[in-house]
Amino acid sequence: MDIVVVIPAAALEAATQVIDLAESRGVRLRLLGGLAFKKLCPSANQGPYLRENKDVDLMGKRQDSREIMKIMETLGYKPREVFNKLNMGQRLIYYDLANRRRVDLFLDEFVMSHRFNFKESLLAGTYTLPITQLVMTKLQVVEKSDKEFLDLICAFKDYDVTEEGIRGDEISKLSSRDWGIYTTFRKSLEALLARPELMHPEDRDLVNTRVRRLLAMMEAEPKSFSWKMRARVGERARWYELPETDGDAMLG
């Protein structure tokens, strides 16, 4: 007789269930998105920064694509079949119909406004990508909503810009090789400084100090030749992608 698996109603518990089953089968999956900040940042679970996190975003390896598909279907998730066939090896989408939840699985690369290879980052952490990579996923968003700013505030409130926290050196080196990423990151950090109304008054000085420290590190890092050549073109040419909406088959 088949064992019926019940998907937890709470999003973080549901994500943990997927990650644990994958781990038991030798497949590594790690959280990103709002739930990852909720897992890593105490501030994301209380007070003015608490927000609803309904959907699940996970990072995995391309080589594990077929095993990941088996895991999701074992747990009872409904595949977005056409999308998954067209994007095999890059990204998969599944639905938990009972809880009206969407699960996005990025494979090797996180691709939105910019492209990042996070395959090696899967080796660190327990249930999430490291805080540095999570910060990158929010900084790279060109058209932000308040939720991106809130997640960033929680990160800079709970983690200093150090080797043990948000790796400013890693972000700076990446930015020094790619003018587009540098520009989007810089604009995001400056926009965060311009949103004091989203921060609790007691948090503003701490968050702003850490954000400014990261900006200073990015400015000070020597830039590559390709960075300098692209900087000559500047903002006359678009330096980012606007992710296409893929609709939502579950919600129609």
Sorting pLDDT into bands at 50, 70 and 90, what band is 54? confident
Instruction: Give me the residue label for tokens 């089953």.
Output: 21
Amino acid in the structure at residue 115: R
Q: Report pLDDT for 1.
A: 42
**pLDDT > 70? residue 2:** no
**pLDDT > 90? residue 94:** yes
- The arithmetic mean of pLDDT across residues 64-85, rounded, is 95
For residues 93 and 82, give the distance between their C-alpha atoms in angstroms, rounded to a whole number. 10
Question: Token pair for residue 188?
Answer: 């995001």
For residues 133 and 135, give the distance between their C-alpha atoms in angstroms, rounded to a whole number. 5
Count, residues in the chain: 252
- The arithmetic mean of pLDDT across residues 173-181, rounded, is 98
Q: 117-121, 146-150, 182-186, 237-241: which has the minimum mean pLDDT?
A: 117-121
Q: At 167, is the secondary structure helix, strand, or coil?
A: coil
- The arithmetic mean of pLDDT across residues 168-192, rounded, is 98
Task: Check residues 24 and 245 and name the one with the higher pLDDT.
Answer: 24
For residues 155 and 129, give the distance between their C-alpha atoms in angstroms, rounded to a whole number. 13
For residues 249 and 164, give the distance between their C-alpha atoms in angstroms, rounded to a whole number. 41
| Residues in Cβ contact with 160 at an 8 Å cutoff, skipping those fewer than 6 apart | 166, 210
**pLDDT > 90? residue 156:** yes
- The arithmetic mean of pLDDT across residues 65-81, rounded, is 96
**pLDDT > 60? residue 252:** no
Q: Report pLDDT for 246.
A: 67
- The arithmetic mean of pLDDT across residues 215-239, rounded, is 98
Q: Report pLDDT for 250.
A: 54
Longest CA–CA span in the chain (Å) reads 66
Q: Which of 57, 69, 75 is nearest to 27 (CA)?
A: 69
| Domains parsed from the chain with CATH numbers | 1-128 (3.30.460.40), 130-233 (no CATH)
- The arithmetic mean of pLDDT across residues 91-109, rounded, is 96
Q: Report pLDDT for 4.
A: 63
Task: Check residues 6 and 220 and name the one with the higher pLDDT.
Answer: 220
**pLDDT > 50? residue 251:** no
Sorting pLDDT into bands at 50, 70 and 90, what band is 14? very high
Q: 46-55, 142-151, 169-178, 220-229: which has the minimum mean pLDDT?
A: 46-55
- The arithmetic mean of pLDDT across residues 148-166, rounded, is 97
Residues paired with residue 109 on neighbouring β-strands, in sequence order? 117
Instruction: Record the pTM.
Output: 0.92
For residues 7 and 9, give the distance between their C-alpha atoms in angstroms, rounded to a whole number. 6
Mean per-residue pLDDT of the chain: 93
DSSP E strand boundaries for the chain: 30-32, 56-60, 78-79, 91-96, 101-107, 109-111, 115-117
**pLDDT > 90? residue 123:** no
For residues 104 and 106, give the distance between their C-alpha atoms in angstroms, rounded to a whole number. 6
- The arithmetic mean of pLDDT across residues 129-151, rounded, is 96
